[in-house]
């Protein structure tokens, strides 16, 4: 894969970051689980929201495998009710559901906040969610840590009042920043998450992604302060 040297720098940065902050994941991750979970194999329990979200994805993945006729419903619930993305029409969701994992992961970045959720539900051991918060964290982390030639991941539309100013800042980056093409950004992302997980002794990149999601506002705020 191209940009392999710079991807290695990113993975070094992710390894250091997770080693420092990963123990705080259970405290930082606050994405709530709706009451109407659509699968019988999940109970909320008394564990943290981070751990419960991991269990939920696996329960949904099992339901996906065992009940093909429920896949549209499961995807709609995961994306819209749990994920908060309500702008997709039925035909778009149906196309994502009908595509293979390879077809989805090779898509251009458009719609990634939706189809990466579907990938993460279908196969949480292999795929992670890519959204506005995660992409902003990846970029802010590299800038804050002075990575020599940061790999800038495409932004995803956001209404977050801390993420949006940072996304604006990215548009005026210097020439030595490597801006990933929308055509292969998710594949670079998936590779980086898995390689970082391997370095950290984790089975999947899921916890790395969840920490980036949970810590996004702090990371972008600190980076904005550095440049002000």
Query: Is pTM beyond 0.85 here?
Result: yes
Domain interval for residue 97: 49-122
Residue 144 sits in the same domain as residue 201: yes
Helix axes 4-21, 185-200, angle to 10 degrees: 50
Domain final residue pick, 73, 95, 122 = 122
pLDDT score for 149: 86
- Cα–Cα dist 219/131, whole Å: 15
pLDDT in tens, the chain (228 residues): 445 546 899 999 999 999 999 999 999 999 999 999 998 889 999 999 999 999 999 999 999 999 999 999 999 999 999 998 988 899 999 999 999 999 999 999 999 999 999 999 999 999 999 999 999 999 999 999 999 889 999 999 999 999 999 999 888 876 678 899 999 999 999 999 999 999 999 999 999 999 999 999 999 999 988 776
Number of domains in the chain: 2
Residue 138 sits in the same domain as residue 213: yes
Residue 135 sits in the same domain as residue 213: yes
39 is a domain residue: no
Residue at token pair 């996004």: 216
34 is a domain residue: no
38 is a domain residue: no
- Cα–Cα dist 70/186, whole Å: 26
Structure tokens at 58: 């696996």
152 is a domain residue: yes
Residue 66 sits in the same domain as residue 118: yes
CA distances to 40, 42, 93, 140, 177 from 171, rounded to whole Å, are 45, 42, 30, 13, 11
CA distances to 105, 128, 181 from 101, rounded to whole Å, are 6, 12, 20
The helix/strand/coil state of 164 is helix
Structure tokens at 201: 């002794």
Residue 208 sits in the same domain as residue 140: yes
How crowded is the C-beta side of 5, counted as CA atoms within 13 Å?
3
193 is a domain residue: yes
Residue 24 sits in the same domain as residue 134: yes
Residue 206, exposed/middle/buried by CB under 10 A (0-12, 13-18, 19+)? buried
Residue 186 sits in the same domain as residue 221: yes
Structure tokens at 43: 């109970």
- Cα–Cα dist 109/123, whole Å: 19
Residue 69 sits in the same domain as residue 110: yes
Residue 102 sits in the same domain as residue 144: no
Residue 56 sits in the same domain as residue 144: no
169 is a domain residue: yes
Polymer length of the chain? 228
pLDDT score for 30: 95
pLDDT score for 175: 66
Neighbours of 44 (CB within 10 A): 12
Residue 164 sits in the same domain as residue 213: yes
Domain final residue pick, 76, 101, 122 = 122
Domain final residue pick, 95, 122, 149 = 122
Residue at token pair 């559901």: 97
Residue 20 sits in the same domain as residue 106: no
- The DSSP symbol for 154 reads P
- Cα–Cα dist 8/128, whole Å: 19
- The DSSP symbol for 31 reads P
């Amino acid at each position: 894969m191209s940009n392999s040297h710079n991807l290695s720098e990113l993975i070094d940065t992710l390894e250091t970051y997770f080693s420092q902050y990963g123990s705080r994941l259970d405290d930082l991750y606050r994405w709530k689980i709706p009451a109407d979970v659509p699968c019988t194999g999940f109970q909320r329990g008394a564990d943290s929201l981070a751990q419960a979200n991991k269990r939920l994805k696996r329960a949904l993945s099992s339901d996906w495998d065992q009940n093909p006729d429920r896949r549209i419903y499961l995807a709609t619930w995961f994306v819209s009710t749990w994920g908060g993305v309500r702008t997709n029409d039925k035909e778009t969701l149906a196309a994502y559901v009908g595509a293979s994992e390879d077809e989805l992961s090779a898509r251009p970045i458009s719609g990634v906040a939706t189809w990466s959720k579907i990938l993460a539900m279908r196969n949480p051991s292999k795929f992670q969610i890519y959204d506005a918060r995660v992409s902003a964290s990846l970029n802010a982390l590299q800038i804050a840590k002075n990575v020599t030639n940061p790999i800038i991941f495409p932004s995803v539309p956001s209404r977050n009042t801390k993420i949006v100013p940072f996304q604006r800042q990215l548009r005026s980056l210097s020439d030595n920043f490597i801006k990933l093409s929308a055509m292969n950004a998710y594949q670079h992302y998936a590779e980086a998450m898995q390689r970082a997980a391997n370095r950290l002794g984790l089975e999947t990149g899921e916890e790395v992604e969840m920490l980036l999601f949970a810590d996004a506002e702090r990371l972008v705020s600190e980076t904005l302060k550095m440049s002000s």
